[in-house]
Structure 1
Amino acid sequence: MALSEIKNKLYKKEADSNLSQHDKTEFDTEGITKGVSSEENKQEDQWVEEKKGFIEEQKKFIKIGAIILSVIFFIVAVGGIVYKIRQSAFSEKKVIISIEGKTDVESGKFITYEIKYKNDNRVDLKNASLRLNYPESLRPEVDPNLKAQGLDNSIAEIGDIKAHTEGKIILNSRIYSPKGTLLYLKAELLYTPSNFNSQFTSSNQLGINVTSTAMNMEITGPLNISNGDAVDYLITYKNNGIEEFGNVRVKLDYAEGFSFSSSEPKVSEGENIWHLGNLSPGEEGKIVISGKLEGEKDQIKKTKAELGTVSQGQFVSYNEETTETKIIRSPLSIIQVVNNNVEVRADAGGELFVEIQYGNTGELGLSNVIITEKIDSPMLDYSSLKLNRKGAFSEETKTITWKASDFPILANLEAGAGGKISFSIKLKNVFPIVTADDKNFSIPFLARIDSPDVPTPLEMNKIIAGNKVDVRVNSKLVVDAEGYYNDSVIGNSGPIPPTVGAETTYSIHWKVMNISNDVADAKVETILPTGVVYTGKKYPENSNLTYDERNNKLTWVIGDISSGMGILTAKREIVFQVKIVPASNQQNQPVALTGESVYSARDLFTGANLSAQVDAKDTRLREDSGIAGTGYKVIAN
């Protein structure tokens, strides 16, 4: 059918009711389905049924999945509820720790602190321990419940803390700190909740302010001095409390440029620590430290004094004070030299030659200049003082004074002018030793120069130039060697007089003394003459006596020796035995037993290497009264 015919049929007023009918073509379904068996049609119908079955299976899986998701959601919900309940059973905020006690304290006073802990949770706290941290100046009293872990912390093992319970630890202590010190006491509670495996920490701290100290102390010194001038520091102390303080000490931290000379009372350790012992309530005292201070113009020199005790090997301060001194320039200068040295060490009995050099370093002349030299020491022999007919010495003040009447230049010392003054004095041979404190002798030579023309600034001490030289006195070593045939310490044998070809033994006694300073590395040595043999016998048997057979050298190693040994305490002594077999060429002669004995040591105060000698010993033993006449001479066999 043509397209125009179809169109006419579609749009004409009376449409053909059998419009769908048309001539058969190759596209008719009848032709396509013709020849297909009914079985094939059934199979096609069965495929359609399988499609409907898959949809039902899918619905089944969806239903099962929904059930599984519901179960999972239920489990998660239950778990969340359980977790929420478990979490609510413990909260760190419900573990409370607090510290109760004074926040304003007095240094050295006994104080008590309560460290309280509280568990407001529904679960127990396992393996709880309380750790306390504090500065070293806080010293806990001994407590079996509180174990020290060091100088700044302790720990108390608490164990389990039940739910809704509380407890406390008592800390008894003393705080040793200067006034104005702020320190902190910190408490940490370490524990593991019973419903957790991890450890938790709760902490708190208390600030403590030291408002005062029962141990009062002051230090004073000059406001200003010229470079190299002498300086004295005065320390006063007092126990204002109602309790006794034990093992009290004063320690100084000197300003840079300070040289220690002496102190009253004498220093106990080094040059800056004094042991005061126990101080009862109301007890007081003072310390005067002398020395010289050097520095550049306008420098401020600060010296700090501390009053305290020693605890667990550490110095603990009760109180501390400082003083400041300003270095200024003086129009006058003065320097002194002793034995051509600025730093001098001297021996007992020695002579000291002192030269004073002075001058006007200002821009104006200075009138009526006076120079003084203070020489005050029990070690000086004032009868040996030589002034070369210039100046005057006062026995009362131990001071030499020179004026214009001695040196006319001092009447008007012009700018840039100067001069020299000299004198000499000897040391005593005998040391004034009565107690163990009589040691480390130092002789101060203090020279000063002044003029009324030198100004005195308001609120400042007068600018007087000075110079101080300290002569340290070496200790004196004394050694003695004695020989015996008749000896109760070590028995001897052989013929007396010594006989040719026969062996005779003798005992040698070494005795040593150390007078005024502690010494170290002390020893006595001698060389035995060839033919003299050390037998190996000695007393005490534990003495450190060594013998070198190749050079016949005997050495007694002593080590450290305290001052005053041989005066305040017994002499140190060793006895050893030697033997000789005289030869025929030694007949009618004494036989040498030892060479010269040399006693040496290092002075710990002056740093000098000291020595003393005693002559060689032979068979002429005058100290042995049992050897008479010519019993020391070798005779024929």
Structure 2
Amino acid sequence: MINLDTEEKIDTPPKDRRGFSSKVLLISVTVILLGVGVFLYISQLGTGDVQISIEIPDNVKMGQPFEAEVNISNNSSENILESKLTISLPTGIILLDSPDKRNDVRELEEIPNTNVLKEKVRLIAVPTDSDRGHELRASLTYTTKSLSAFFNKNTVVNVSPQNTTFDIDMTVPSVIFSGQEFSSKILLNTSQIESKEEFNDISEKIKYYLILENEDELDLVSSEPKSSFNDLKWEIPITEEKDYELNFVARAVNVSTDVLSLKPRIILNFADENYELDRIDENPLLAPSPLTLGIRLSDPKSYAFAGEELTYIVTLKNNTEVPLRNVIVRTQLIGEMFDGETVDTDGKFNSLDSSIVWSSADFDELSSLGVGRQATFSFAVTVKKDFPISQINDKNFVLKVNVTAESPTITQGVSTDRTSTDATLQTKVAGDLDLKNSIYFDESEYENSGLIPPKEGTKTTLSVHWSVENKGTDVRGVQLRSRLGSNVLFEEVLSSPEGSTIEYDESTRDLFWNLGDLSAGAGIISKDPEAIFKISITPNNSDIGNFIHLMDLVTISATDEFTGISLSGSSASVDTSGLSDSGFDAEDGRVISNE
């Protein structure tokens, strides 16, 4: 038998792997190059023909509004869609229309091809700690109909504001006497502040002020123009006139050095922030006043109470190197709360003008006040007990005392024909709170039950009325409080002003009426604020023949808005002998037996 199963080995040539790798590499490079080409093509298609730029004025000035313009040029073959413009502001550049924002983001309309869109933004440059320029940036994101991707374009421009200078010129004496009036003039060149029609709608939000940094060292006597702020601050008007002139009279006070540093500053106020645009420093010498004149209260304080007696001390000292002849010291009392009939003084009092005069005719030391010598005078006067209140604005009364001293002797360094000085002391009159505590059994509006005289074992209810009068000043945080007697129960609140609350603590028996704030004249030129609540008593055997204690003293407290001090008052405690019913006999308050 022949076996036909055979195995034949067929030799095959080996594969060329180097050729295969070359083909793969070639394909990969081709794909990459094709991808890069497509990417560059799409990028060029998306951004190459869209441009963005920012234009700003050539002369941006510090502290003055200006307008920047962002230009978006679409030179592509397609419309720009879903575009958003973001304008980013550096420190020192503020949006006029939205000062709190650091980015102005705008959703833009469709921009047709071959068109230019102009977006304007109103800005103002303000001083910062950096002297470098400010980079204003704009960024545009967009897409087109044929491209699904979003593209971005950015641009930046450097804003370098010029300083706004006012050429401040201040005329002031080279030597100023402490406590003596002196005159000064300040000239400003306001030509660099331009008024532009496109900013008229916000002109009221941009203000320029002239300020003197001497609030604690200068007492302003007068100025032209007058200050609208009752201090060393004047608004600079923007008019066609290019110069601003301020004339003022002041005196130096509370200066501890021999130089008075005067610092006129030009301030921009915008969005409740102040920015300094310009300033100068003037440093005249400060010399002691030829006459030192002072007035104070014997009990130094800034306030007084109605009905209080005040004692004033006037002191005078000669600081010159020569005696001062025939010195006259004159004091005038200004204020309707002074009671002129109570003035007590060794000087001559004139009730017609409320003045007191001390002269050499009555005081030998004033005939020739020696070098370095001092004279002291005093007077007493009582504050009126009653406030002159007839209308709602009758409040915040002030006691003002002006005192002057002068001598015909001319001293070195004084340019007038006499040597003189003056001083002023102002004292605020604190407000006065009165409370009334009335307790009724028989009244028509709120019916009570039980018996008067109180009867053993019988419950009797009573109505309590608390009312308040406020005189002289506005007050805040008014509170009345008391404590009920041990045999007294709190029943209910009957009435109280809107916004006030009555609270009772059963554990302590304390009672509170939180009234809140009161205007001056409440209860006098307007209806009394009044709280009404009900209490009850049930006498027991041990109370027979006695009065029942209803309530401890009532106290009132508040803060005076004018003087800042705490005000307080009180009314006496009340028992059943003190009911306020018409015709009530105190003996009817004694508890009787039920037999």
* Alpha-carbon offset, residue 333 of structure 1: 1.6
Alignment correspondent of 2:466: 510
Contact 1:482 1:510 in 2 (8 A): yes
Q: CA deviation at 1:355?
A: 0.9
Give per-residue Cα distances to partners, 1:39-97, cap 9 Å, x unaligned.
xxxxxxxxxxxxxxx9xx99x88888877777677666656655554554466895223
Deviates more, 1:116-125 or 1:438-447: 116-125
How far did residue 401 of structure 1 move? 3.5
Which one of 514, 519, 524 corresponds to residue 567 of structure 1? 524
**What SS does the aligned partner of 2:477 have?**
strand
Change (3 A) 1:262 1:567: farther
Runs of 5+ unmatched residues, structure 1: 1-53, 141-147, 214-218, 277-285
- Structure 1 equivalent of residue 5 of structure 2: none
Contact 2:482 2:552 in 1 (8 A): yes
Cα separation, partners in 2 of 1:438 and 1:322, compared to 1, 3 Å: farther
Write the mapping of 1:227-626 to structure 2, written as runs, cut at 5 A.
Answer: 227=178, 255-258=214-217, 293-296=253-256, 297-302=258-263, 314=272, 327-341=286-300, 343-388=301-346, 390-391=347-348, 393=350, 395-396=352-353, 398-451=354-407, 452-456=409-413, 465-540=421-496, 543-584=500-541, 586-587=543-544, 590-620=547-577, 623-625=580-582
Question: Cα distance 1:333–1:212, how it changes in 2: closer, same or farther (>3 A)?
Answer: closer
Match for 2:117: what amino acid? G
CA distance in 2, matches of 1:352, 1:248: 48
Task: Indicate the residue corresponding to 1:119 in structure 2.
Answer: 74
Match of 1:155 in 2: 105
1:201 — aligned with what?
154
Partner of 1:29 in structure 2?
none
1:500–1:584 contact (8 Å) kept in structure 2: yes
Shift of 1:538: 4.1
CA contact (8 A) 2:323 2:370 kept: yes
Residue aligned with 1:300, SS: coil
State the shift of 1:573 in Å: 1.3
- Check the 8 A contact 1:546/1:555 in 2, yes or no: yes
Map 1:48-59 → 2, pairs under 5 A: none
Report the Cα distance in structure 2 between the residues aligned to 1:220 and 1:347, rounded to whole angstroms: 44
2:165–2:278 Cα contact (<8 Å) kept: no
In the alignment, is the contact (CA less than 8 A) between 2:51 and 2:73 conserved in 1? yes
Distance 1:82 1:167, change over 3 A: same
Count of aligned residue pairs for this structure pair: 539
Alpha-carbon distance in structure 2 between the residues aligned to 1:619 and 1:233: 72
Instruction: Give the number of the structure whose alpha-carbon radius of gyration is greater.
Output: 1
Distance in 1 of aligned mates of 2:530 and 2:319: 59
TM-score of the pair, normalised by structure 1: 0.66
Question: Are residues 1:130 and 2:86 paired?
Answer: yes
In 2, are the aligned partners of 1:230 and 1:446 still within 8 Å (CA)? no
Aligned-pair Cα RMSD in Å: 5.5
Secondary structure of the residue aligned to 2:259 is coil
Instruction: Give, in angstroms, the shift of residue 157 of structure 1.
Output: 1.6
SS in 2 for 1:593: strand
The whole-number CA distance in structure 2 between the counterparts of 1:299 and 1:474 is 35
1:635 aligns with 2:592: yes
Cα distance in 2, alignment partners of residues 615 and 537 from structure 1: 22
What code does the residue aligned with 2:261 have?
A: I
TM-score w.r.t. the length of structure 2 is 0.70
Assess, with a 3 A threshold, how the Cα gap between structure 1 residues 543 and 502 changes in structure 2: closer, same or farther: farther
Instruction: Indicate how the Cα distance of structure 1 residues 629 and 445 shifts in structure 2: closer, same or farther if over 3 A, else same.
Output: closer
Mapped contact 1:512–1:566 kept (Cα < 8 A): yes
Percent of paired sites with the same residue? 22
The 3 A distance-change label for structure 1 pair 457 and 412 is closer
Deviation at 1:428, TM superposition (A): 1.6
Q: Relative to 1, partners in 2 of residues 1:531 and 1:394: Cα closer, same or farther, differing over 3 Å? A: closer
Partner of residue 168, structure 1: 118
Match of 2:139 in 1: 189
Q: What is the letter of the counterpart of residue 290 of structure 2?
A: P
Contact 1:511–1:574 (Cα < 8 Å) also in 2: yes
CA contact (8 A) 1:261 1:470 kept: no
User: Which region of structure 1 is more displaced relative to structure 2, 585-594 or 426-435?
Assistant: 585-594
Distance 1:393 1:206, change over 3 A: farther
Q: CA deviation at 1:301?
A: 4.5
Query: How far apart are the structure 1 equivalents of 2:517 and 2:23?
Result: 96
